[in-house]
């Protein structure tokens, strides 16, 4: 059965992270969209204007323009985005697929979820600039090991070279979800067991509070580089 997929990248990334996954899904006959979020990649916007609602509104407009039920795939931070969209327009969403994604509770934020972790994650490699609504990411060897620890050298080098800074506000903005809307949407969680950014136990804490089916991948925070075929097949439900 052919589907329409929207692949939504996470923080620090842009649509480049799907460069191996998108062609594989298209080769299987699926329709695929992999947009840059506002302020990322080629979608230029001053960070000072970006909130979580900015992301949600941009993706929602794309979903509605497609005019058919879609599968929303969200990596990491994008788990927050796709959760809110499922609450807002559940009738347009065929399924949510989280790839080591954040799933805040109702009235919760990504930052609140991250603060529940025993691991510092990537926080040691960040610097905040609230006046510019910006989180500065240090491109260090530590950052590369955190994000790309299971990737080959070429892809790890590519990934670290393309990472960018991130708007701050979406991390602290809360989502509003309900059992009646968000709760009724089918969900799959792809848990990455060697993730150094969002450790497996933190992923488990979130997906266990949500009615998700779960598939484990023995890989890092970047399965779109480190487990390409496996990830594409799971997304395509093969």
pLDDT digits (tens, 9 = 90+) for 224-238: 999 999 999 999 987
Residues above pLDDT 90, as percent of the chain: 97
Identify the band that residue 82 occupies on the pLDDT scale cut at 50, 70 and 90: very high
Q: Is 204 exposed, middle or buried (0-12, 13-18, 19+ CB in 10 A)?
A: middle
Would the pTM of this model clear 0.95, i.e. be above it?
yes
Q: What is the mean pLDDT of residues 208-230?
A: 97
Confidence (pLDDT) at 67: 86
pLDDT exceeds 90 at position 3: yes
Q: Are 234 and 190 in contact (CB under 8 A)?
A: yes
Identify the band that residue 172 occupies on the pLDDT scale cut at 50, 70 and 90: very high
Identify the band that residue 33 occupies on the pLDDT scale cut at 50, 70 and 90: very high
Q: Are 92 and 70 in contact (CB under 8 A)?
A: yes
Supply the mean pLDDT for the chain. 97
Tell me the Ramachandran region of residue 41: left when phi exceeds 0, alpha when psi lies from -120 to 50, beta otherwise: left
pLDDT digits (tens, 9 = 90+) for 51-66: 999 999 999 999 999 9
Q: Are 225 and 159 in contact (CB under 8 A)?
A: yes
pLDDT exceeds 80 at position 96: yes
Confidence (pLDDT) at 178: 98
- Interacting residues of 18 by C-beta distance below 8 A, sequence separation 6+: 7, 9, 34, 224
pLDDT exceeds 90 at position 135: yes
The 3-class secondary structure across 7-41, one letter per residue, is EECCCCCCHHHHCCHHHHHHHCCCEEECCCCCCEC
Q: Are 143 and 217 in contact (CB under 8 A)?
A: no
Top-level class of domain 4-235:
alpha beta
Confidence (pLDDT) at 1: 77
Q: What is the mean pLDDT of residues 130-150?
A: 97
């Amino acid at each position: 059965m052919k589907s329409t997929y929207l692949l939504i990248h996470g923080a620090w990334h842009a649509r480049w992270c799907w460069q191996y996954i998108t062609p594989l899904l298209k080769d299987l006959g699926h329709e695929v969209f992999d947009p840059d979020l506002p302020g990322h990649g080629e979608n230029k916007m001053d960070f000072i204007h970006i909130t979580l609602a900015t992301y949600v509104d941009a993706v929602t407009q794309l979903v509605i323009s497609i005019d058919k039920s879609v599968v929303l795939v969200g990596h990491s931070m994008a788990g927050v985005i796709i959760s809110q969209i499922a609450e807002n327009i559940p009738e347009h969403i065929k399924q949510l697929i989280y790839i080591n994604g954040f799933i805040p509770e109702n009235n919760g934020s990504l930052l609140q979820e991250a603060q529940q972790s025993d691991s510092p994650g990537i926080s040691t490699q960040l610097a905040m600039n609230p006046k510019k609504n910006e989180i500065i990411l240090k491109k260090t060897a530590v950052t590369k090991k955190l994000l790309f620890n299971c990737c080959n050298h070429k892809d790890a080098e590519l990934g670290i070279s393309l990472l960018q800074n991130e708007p701050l506000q979406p991390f602290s903005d809360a989502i509003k979800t309900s059992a009646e809307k968000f709760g009724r949407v089918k969900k799959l969680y792809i848990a990455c067991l060697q993730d150094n950014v969002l450790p497996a136990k933190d992923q488990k804490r979130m997906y266990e509070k949500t009615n998700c089916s779960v598939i484990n991948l023995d890989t890092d925070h970047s399965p779109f580089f480190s487990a390409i075929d496996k990830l594409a097949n799971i997304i395509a439900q093969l």
